[in-house]
Amino acid sequence: MEPSGADKGFFQKAPVLRNQFHDDASFQRCFKCKLPPLLSPSSLPIVFLSAEVASKAGGEVSSFGQDVISDQIFTWVTDSEHNKPYLKGSGRDAFGKWKGELITGEGWRSLQDFGLSKGMVATGYDTPYGAFCRPLQFLRTHLWVGSCANVGCPSAMQDGAACLLRRHLSHPELSAALSAAEKKVFTDAYKRLTSRDPKHAWTSGQWMTERTGGSDVSLTETVATYQPEGANGFASKQGQIPLGPWSINGFKWFSSATDSEMTVLLARTAAGGLSTFLAPMRKHDPEATTLTGEPKDDGRALNGVRIQRLKNKFGTQSLPTAELVLDNMRGWMVGREGRGIHEISTILTLTRVHSAVAAVGGVGRGLGIARAYALVRDVGAGGRKRMRLVDSPLHMRTLAKISAEYRRLMLITFYTSYVLGVSEHSLGARPSPALDALTPQEKLVEPLLRIMSQLAKAYVCKPSVALLFSCMEALGGVGYLVNEEQEYLNISRIYRDTCVLPIWEGTTDVLCTDLVRAMKHARGGADSLAALDEVVRKAWGFEGRAGRPAGWEPVEKWAALKRKIEGTEQADLMGEAREVVWQLGDILASVLLYVDAGTDGNPVAKEVFVRFVEDKFGVERRARGSTEDELNKDLGIVYGHGGD
Q: Which is nearer to ligand UCC, 208 or 307 (CB)?
A: 208
Size of the site for ligand UCC (CB under 6 A): 30
User: What are the beta bridge partners of residue 380?
Assistant: 386
**Displacement of CA 604 from its chain's centroid (Å):** 27
Which range of residues in 208-216, 559-567, 605-613, 633-641 is near ligand UCC by CB under 6 A?
A: 208-216
Q: Select the residue interacting with ligand UCC from 122, 156, 580, 591 (CB under 6 A).
A: 156
Bridge partners of 204? 262
Containing 398, the helix (H) or strand (E) segment is helix 393-421
* Rounded distance between C-alpha atoms, residue 588 and residue 357, angstroms: 17
Phi, psi at 463, each rounded to 5°: -65, -20
Provide the pairing of β-strand 223-226 with 204-207.
Answer: unpaired
Q: Which residue is nearest to ligand FAD (CB)?
A: 214
Compute the distance between CA of residue 101 and CA of residue 88 in angstroms, rounded to an integer.
5
Number of residues that bind ligand FAD (CB under 6 A): 22
CB of 567 to ligand UCC, least distance (A): 21
In terms of CB distance, is 241 or 266 closer to ligand FAD?
266
CB 429 within 8 A of CB 559: no
Residue 262 touching ligand FAD (CB under 6 A): no
Which amino acid appears at position 494 of this protein? I
342 binds, among ligand UCC, ligand FAD, none (CB under 5 to 8 A by kind): ligand UCC
Alpha-carbon span 486 to 317, nearest angstrom: 18
CB of 256 to ligand FAD, least distance (A): 3
Query: Shortest Cβ distance from residue 188 to ligand UCC (Å)?
Result: 23
The answer to whether residue 358 forms part of the interface with ligand UCC (CB under 6 A) is yes
Decide if residue 220 touches ligand FAD (CB under 6 A): no
Assign 3-state DSSP to the chain and report helix, strand, coil percentages, each to 5. Answer: 55, 10, 35
Residue 152 or 554 having the CB closest to ligand UCC: 152
User: Considering only residues 204, 206, 276, 346, which one is a binding residue for ligand FAD as defined by CB under 6 A?
Assistant: 206
Contact between 454 and ligand FAD (CB under 6 A)?
no
Q: What is the SS3 assignment for 596? A: helix
Q: Which does 514 bind (CB under 5 to 8 A by kind): ligand FAD, ligand UCC, none?
A: ligand UCC
* Ramachandran angles phi, psi of 388, nearest 5°: -70, 150
Closest of 340, 342, 351 to residue 248, by C-alpha:
340
Stretch that binds ligand FAD, among 171-179, 292-300, 313-321, 520-528 (CB under 6 A): 313-321
* Helix residue ranges, H only, 210-316: 286-292, 296-299
- x/- track of binding to ligand UCC for residues 502-521 (CB under 6 A): --xxx---x---x--xx--x
Residue 158 in contact with ligand FAD, rule: CB under 6 A: no
Element (H, E) at 254: strand 246-255
Which amino acid is it at 409? L
List residues binding ligand UCC (CB under 6 A): 152-153, 156-157, 206, 208-209, 214-215, 217-218, 256, 341-342, 345, 348-349, 351, 354-355, 358, 450, 504-506, 510, 514, 517-518, 521
List residues binding ligand FAD (CB under 6 A): 206-209, 213-216, 254-256, 313, 316, 321, 500, 503-504, 506-507, 509-510, 513
